[in-house]
Amino acid sequence: MISDIDFSLPLEGQPITIAVTRGDLIESRHAVWAAVVHATGRIIGQWGNAHAMIYPRSAVKPFQALPLVMSGAAQRFGLDARHVALACASHNGERQHVDLVLDWLQRLNLTPAHLECGATEPIDAQTALAVIREGGVSRPEYNNCSGKHCGFLTLARHLAADPSGYIEYGHPVQAEVRRAMALIFDHELESAPWGIDGCGIPTYALSIADLAHAFARFAAPSALPEDARQAASFLFQAMTAHPYLVGGRNRFDTEVMACLPGALMVKSGAEGVCAAGIPDRGLGIVTKVVDGARRASDVAMGAVLRHLGVLADSDWQRLKAYCAPEVRNVAGKAVGVIRPCADPACAKEG
């Protein structure tokens, strides 16, 4: 019976299983690899293949925003913590996100046409429906990465570089991003495997454990050079002070940071990646759903946070819609649940 399954994590070394139930049957399973690493580099916990190479995708947006702050560009153009939080965001495209993007572009004397992230509809279904009803179309400012791209355009302006092509590997903006990220990763990226992310910029591969270490170093940045340390602290504070700008309505990143204000940063990415940094404990956490399923990502991170005691039972209950979401049929009736399962039988078919 599903009701008898323990919600705790499996023994270290074994993958975490996220079970999707319908009635008392496990209908689907998602394997998750994860790592918890201290800022010193010591691995605190690992499940599955913590040394697998992955693309972090949007989880590294806070790192990509470092040169925006380190260079003085944010200060020069009068940006505040809201703009900086939006630079770290995978936002819903709600009105407050889009209005801030447009304000930002105006400060740069640029328009949405300068954004090279691609035109999309808002992620938020309610907002997207309102846009359609108003006769709107896909636009680059609705793109969940438009805040990050405003940051890149700001850096281009600050460097007196041509803003055109700022997403290309060889552009001065991306060179600055690589240099800043190398400080957090603690190794250079010039020879790292890389590909093109969904929004068009380079994305660099590293292991799950190394990414968790980077999040620990970012959240507890005492080992970083002074300018990087100050920038990382400012970015952390901006994200945790303005969690709604980082995601928005019905988003795990937003809700968990709002639930535990100032205690941790959380940033998800595509293909089932989620990362967190906990400054007081000097910890970084990364979870990667092996098959890339989005529906298992929040559940996996919630399970690790609960395992570590970061989420108290009351916090977990408040976040239950993300940490153990119900499966509903077309009529809206709850017919199952998506949840972590430590029982070895959960990882097996049948």
Q: What is the pLDDT of residues 24-33, one digit of tens each?
A: 899 999 999 9
Q: Does residue 42 share a domain with residue 112?
A: no
- Residues 6+ positions from 147 with CB-CB distance below 8 Å: 83, 86, 87, 88, 89, 91, 97, 100, 101, 104, 245
Q: Does residue 269 share a domain with residue 193?
A: no
Is residue 165 in a domain?
Answer: yes
Q: Does residue 195 share a domain with residue 67?
A: yes
DSSP, res 120: B
Q: Given a cut of 70, is residue 262 above it in pLDDT?
A: yes
Is residue 104 in a domain?
Answer: yes
Write down the pLDDT at residue 71: 97
Q: Given a cut of 60, is residue 192 above it in pLDDT?
A: yes
Q: Does residue 64 share a domain with residue 42?
A: no
Q: Does residue 183 share a domain with residue 87?
A: yes
Mean pLDDT, rounded, for 20-40: 96
CA neighbor of 148 nearest in space, from 75, 108, 211, 201: 201
Q: Does residue 141 share a domain with residue 8?
A: no
More confident of the two residues 267 and 190: 267
Write down the pLDDT at residue 134: 87
Domain that holds residue 132: 60-204
Mean pLDDT, rounded, for 294-320: 95
Strand segments (E) across the chain? 16-22, 25-38, 43-47, 53-54, 194-196, 202-204, 206-207, 265-269, 273-278, 283-289, 326-328, 334-341
Q: Given a cut of 80, is residue 7 above it in pLDDT?
A: no
Is residue 163 in a domain?
Answer: yes
- Which region, left, alpha or beta, applies to residue 144 given φ > 0 means left and ψ of -120 to 50 means alpha? alpha
Q: Does residue 217 share a domain with residue 193?
A: no
Taking only the tens place, the pLDDT of each residue in 126-143 is 999 999 998 888 999 999
- Residues 6+ positions from 216 with CB-CB distance below 8 Å: 37, 38, 39, 277, 278, 282, 283, 284
Number of structural domains in the chain: 2
Q: Does residue 42 share a domain with residue 101?
A: no
Q: Does residue 186 share a domain with residue 50?
A: no
Mean pLDDT, rounded, for 98-125: 97
Q: Given a cut of 60, is residue 75 above it in pLDDT?
A: yes
C-alpha to C-alpha distance for 299 and 319, rounded to whole angstroms: 10
Give the model's confidence band at 3: pLDDT under 50 very low, under 70 low, under 90 confident, else very high. Answer: very low
Is residue 239 in a domain?
Answer: no
Is residue 82 in a domain?
Answer: yes
Q: Does residue 265 share a domain with residue 138?
A: no
Q: Given a cut of 80, is residue 346 above it in pLDDT?
A: no
Q: Given a cut of 70, is residue 319 above it in pLDDT?
A: yes
Mean pLDDT, rounded, for 240-262: 97
Q: Does residue 84 share a domain with residue 16?
A: no
Nearest 5 degrees, angle CA 47-CA 49-CA 50?
70
Q: Given a cut of 80, is residue 6 above it in pLDDT?
A: no
**Longest Cα–Cα distance in the chain:** 64
Q: Given a cut of 60, is residue 265 above it in pLDDT?
A: yes
Mean pLDDT, rounded, for 55-74: 98
**3-class DSSP state of 100:** helix
